[in-house]
Amino acid sequence: MCRLPLLFLLAAATIAATPGTAPAEVTVYVEDFEDGAGNPAFDPMFSHEITASPYAEPMLYRELRSLPSSPGTGIALFLAPAQDTVTFSLLPGQEIVYVSVDANIFSSGGTEKTSIDFIGRDDTFRVLLGSPCEWKTITASSSGIGPIQEIQMRSLEGYFDNITIHVIPEPSLVVMALAGMLICLTMINRRKVIF
Ligand SMILES: [Ca+2]
Ligand SMILES: [Ca+2]
């Protein structure tokens, strides 16, 4: 007898029994390059791989520096010239549906040397920042490119800050669904022993 429908029903019941949860709940994480005291720090949700930019001279310069001319941004990532490949520590079943990044380009080096690639499951969305700019927010959503799995920021001389990701479903839902599945599997195994 197939027990899969029973398994999914019990998992769904477990989720429904959890107070204060909603299926479409979004969790927002922000990489602001600071710890709670305002010191330079990376957030554990975000992994950074800093390499020389393929569009610039082969030198690598990364710095987490404060910007006195832009109060409120605090510490920002300075890539000059370099590329930061950002990946994420998601739980199984979680997906990123929306991303935003703040950029302040001091020296762009022209088209292609300064850009942000949002790499989705199905396609890549590239934003070229071909001329210097004050702080501006670049956004991307999963519609058209699939859930976002990686961000590549490259710059001749520029600052990046406030990498913001919207994640679904929220962690508690994933944990509860996994717990429900585990309970069901345990029950099925027990029945196999009894009969
Ligand atoms: Ca910051
Ligand atoms: Ca932080």
pLDDT in tens, 175-193: 777 777 777 677 766 666 5
In the reported structure, the alpha carbon of residue 29 is separated from the centroid of ligand 2 by a whole-number distance in angstroms of: 9
Report which bound ligand comes closest to the CA of 66.
1
Q: Are 59 and 52 in contact (CB under 8 A)?
A: yes
Place of tokens 């549906």: 97
164 and 182 share one domain: no
pLDDT digits (tens, 9 = 90+) for 135-156: 999 999 999 999 999 999 999 8
Q: Which residues of 147-165 are buried (b: 16+ CB within 10 A; e: fewer)?
A: ebbbbbbbbbbbbbbbbbb
For the entire predicted model, the pTM comes to: 0.75
H-run or E-run covering 10: helix 4-16
111 and 135 share one domain: yes
133 and 40 share one domain: yes
59 and 132 share one domain: yes
160 and 189 share one domain: no
Confidence band of 60 (pLDDT split at 50, 70, 90)? low
59 and 102 share one domain: yes
Three-class SS string for 86-101? Answer: EEECCCCCCEEEEEEE
Domain extent at residue 195:
1-24+171-195
pLDDT at res. 71: 53
pLDDT digits (tens, 9 = 90+) for 84-132: 999 999 999 999 999 999 999 988 777 778 999 999 999 999 999 988 8
Q: Are 78 and 107 in contact (CB under 8 A)?
A: no
Rounded CA separation 189/39 (Å): 51
pLDDT at res. 123: 98
How many domains would you assign to the chain?
2
In the reported structure, the alpha carbon of residue 117 is separated from the centroid of ligand 2 by a whole-number distance in angstroms of: 22
In the reported structure, the alpha carbon of residue 125 is separated from the centroid of ligand 1 by a whole-number distance in angstroms of: 24
Q: What is the mean pLDDT of residues 49-66?
A: 74
pLDDT at res. 194: 53
In the reported structure, the alpha carbon of residue 54 is separated from the centroid of ligand 1 by a whole-number distance in angstroms of: 25
